[in-house]
Amino acid sequence: MKKAADVLTELARPSNVATHSSMALVGSVDAAGAAEDKKRQEKELDALRRKPKLQAIPTREIGSFQPAPWDVLHTLARAVALARRGAGRGLAEHWGSLKYSQALTGGSDAYMKLSAEGRENADYYKALQSDELGIGFGLAMAKQVLTLRYPQHMVSIIPADTALRAGWALTSRDKGPRAGYRYRPRFFAEVWKPGEPSRVFPIETKGNHSNATTSHDQLASASAHVEAVHIGSWNETPSLVFSTELPVEGPLTIHALHAAGGEGRLHHSAENAGKSLNYFVEDENFFPGIQPPTKGDKVLQKEPGFHVTPERHEWFRHVLARTSAAGLTAFAGDSAATVQYLTKRQGSRHFTGFAHAAAASVQDAHEELLGIQFVGTDHVFRLNRTRVEAFSGVSKDLFHHLEAGRVEQYRREIYVRRDAWPVDTWDSKWRGPVSICPDGSVLAMRVLT
């Protein structure tokens, strides 16, 4: 059994991560999709509508991927802060990432792989571990790709279900005309710069403890999920799909593809050009469906999915910005600040009132990490019999903007500071791993003395 201090040291150590994106992968994914459609046909089910013309991602965008395990867990924690999957009901979902503190191993001269504990967990919690680590690695890779592609922009990751619920009823529990379509992306990446239209990428991330063949199947399925959201014209929304292969033996590999497209831009509408992101958003009740282009004079029937048409661009940009802000305040443990950013259907009620024991988080902690003051919440638990403390939060000055509902000011400031954040993964004064993201969030852990 490793000492807790050794575990923390490994969490801060960057490792090489193998990536795979090629025309051969495109062919394998297309073949996997065709095989799945044949099975569906035998069951008298319709073929799935998948993203056409998936492409390999250039090596310059996916190569040299060397995250520390702690950075991957930070990405996972931020992504699920609004997940509402467990008893925490969205109040402390992000602490679930800590169960993978000993799941990964590697080093600067090695490729990252499952540790002995990660391999053991794969035998008992295969689906959960591969799914959640797949989210962490896929989104970390997505952020690298988009940051390299758009170097003068910020990249925000937003849970797609939470964002879509502001306009559509996704399940029978939601009020409004129900979509009834289970294929949709898990995340959106908003690529933005103050004063310019945003660019939005639907993202689907998956993971498995099997092999490359399983990743081919997962990418074929992921293609159907990202195809379910169109922003602008038919089949012109750029997308990213990932499947992380976490074998019990050997290095993990991120298989990645993308779909190009000239749309996905959220333009400002003339009548709402001056509307601030600080204003509340109300639930809309859009009818689901994506409108294909007409054939001559014939208007085709809508396809299942969600269509952000031009008149909805400004509204959707507003929703994405405020949902992203909600994820940050939830990550910092402030349920009262989170409520203001979510509509009723998005789950604002989950951040009010009663919370289950050991599931709530409270914004009452202050820490200085790598020379920056942060406010947030903490969590104490035992790691191999040693008491350790984890801290999640947001830079103090930025959090005050979010707490007061000043989304515009927050976004302007993080854009200016996007390249100024520390890149160190260890704070000697804190005595533990530290991960700071360009959005101003931080995740840190140390041994309690």
Percent helix / strand / coil, the chain, rounded to 5:
35, 25, 40
Specify the pLDDT at position 361.
61
Specify the pLDDT at position 87.
43
SS3 180: coil
Per-residue pLDDT band at 177 (split at 50, 70, 90): confident
The count of other CB atoms within 10 Å of the CB of residue 62 is: 21
Per-residue pLDDT band at 88 (split at 50, 70, 90): very low
Plot region of 436 (φ>0 → left; ψ -120 to 50 → alpha; else → beta): beta
* CA 447/CA 449 separation, integer angstroms: 6
**Domains in the chain: boundaries:** 13-352
298 to each of 291, 293, 301, 310, 440, how far by Cα in Å? 12, 9, 10, 21, 50
Which token pair is 375? 């406010």
Per-residue pLDDT band at 108 (split at 50, 70, 90): confident
Average pLDDT of the chain is: 91
Per-residue pLDDT band at 299 (split at 50, 70, 90): confident
pLDDT score of 195 more than 80 = yes
Average confidence (pLDDT) over 376-384? 93
Per-residue pLDDT band at 269 (split at 50, 70, 90): low
CB 366 within 8 A of CB 377: no
Query: In terms of pLDDT, which residue wins out, 125 or 33?
Result: 33
Average confidence (pLDDT) over 261-277? 77
Specify the pLDDT at position 252.
97
Specify the pLDDT at position 358.
47
Per this entry, what is the length of the chain? 449
Which token pair is 266? 């959220």
Specify the pLDDT at position 356.
47
pLDDT score of 208 more than 60 = yes
- Which residue carries 């996997």 as its tokens? 32
Average confidence (pLDDT) over 167-189? 85
Q: What is the pLDDT of residues 60-81, one digit of tens each?
A: 999 899 999 999 999 999 999 9
* CA 15/CA 31 separation, integer angstroms: 32
pLDDT score of 275 more than 90 = no
Specify the pLDDT at position 86.
45
pLDDT score of 385 more than 60 = yes
pLDDT above 90 covers what percent of the chain? 79
Q: What is the pLDDT of residues 116-166, one digit of tens each?
A: 999 998 777 888 999 999 999 999 999 999 999 999 999 999 999 999 999
Specify the pLDDT at position 364.
77
pLDDT score of 271 more than 70 = no
Q: What is the pLDDT of residues 389-411, one digit of tens each?
A: 999 999 999 999 999 999 999 99
In angstroms and rounded to an integer, the radius of gyration of the C-alpha atoms of the chain is: 21
Burial of 126 (C-beta count, 10 Å sphere; 0-12/13-18/19+): middle
Specify the pLDDT at position 273.
53
16 to each of 24, 32, 74, 253, 320, how far by Cα in Å? 23, 28, 17, 10, 32
Average confidence (pLDDT) over 432-446? 98
Output the pTM of the full model: 0.94
Which token pair is 37? 């459609």
Which token pair is 261? 């497209």
